Chain A
């Protein structure tokens, strides 16, 4: 289960599991946003490579228009995935507590 709320002026709050079954819905949500998009990951429990693909595609689209994707409150598990994939060198990532 994945839920996404917000965007526009404030952060997008994402919660649940961003896996292969939810990637299309997440991509559709993020495709509507422009500029500097902040993803609040405090309640994002799980991310698979399908989710990484969504984040990469979104970040590249935003970069092309002068924006970017930034992630906040990233848990330890997600930090490991970002580190192993090299995404910690691509995305602005703020660890969670």
Chain B
């Protein structure tokens, strides 16, 4: 079972994305306690597209039910290659005076998901980010880890 929708590249589309994930979780029978983490990851990925993407094509979001959770894919067309699995590390031990707003999104995504995969097709200029979130985390033999693409 899978739910799909596309959203314009505007920050105010976030409310429609939240409405979509809420409805998708209900229709798919996905664990509701996972939804905030899924919303968080989708918001971070989507706002990156809005801030840094140069294309105009809508951004597609697909949510599929898997055992104990969901697999979510965000597809951006007219995309430049940016491997979200290779974000620079963030020093979360710095004192407040040395911290700067921003830069935390991808770091937090890596902490919240079971697996994160980035694929990029240069021919189609299409990037595809897939993450999984389950109640218990995937067992090691099923976990995809954090797999990147060669940009």
Contacts and interface: CB of A to CB of B under 8 A. Distances in A.
Interface stretch (B55-63, B93-101, B142-150): B93-101
Interface in B39-60: 39-40, 43-44, 47
Contact of B36 (A45, A49, A86): A45
Q: Is the interface of A mostly helix, strand, loop or mixed?
A: helix
Interface residues of A, number: 25
B108 A20 contact: no
B15 A86 contact: no
A19 B105 CA distance: 12
Contacts of A90: 95-96, 99
A95 B101 CA distance: 23
Interface of B: 11-12, 14-15, 18, 36-37, 39-40, 43-44, 47, 92-97, 99, 101-102, 104-105, 107-108, 111-112
Interface of A: 17, 19-21, 45-46, 48-50, 52-54, 56-57, 59-60, 63, 77, 80-81, 84-86, 89-90
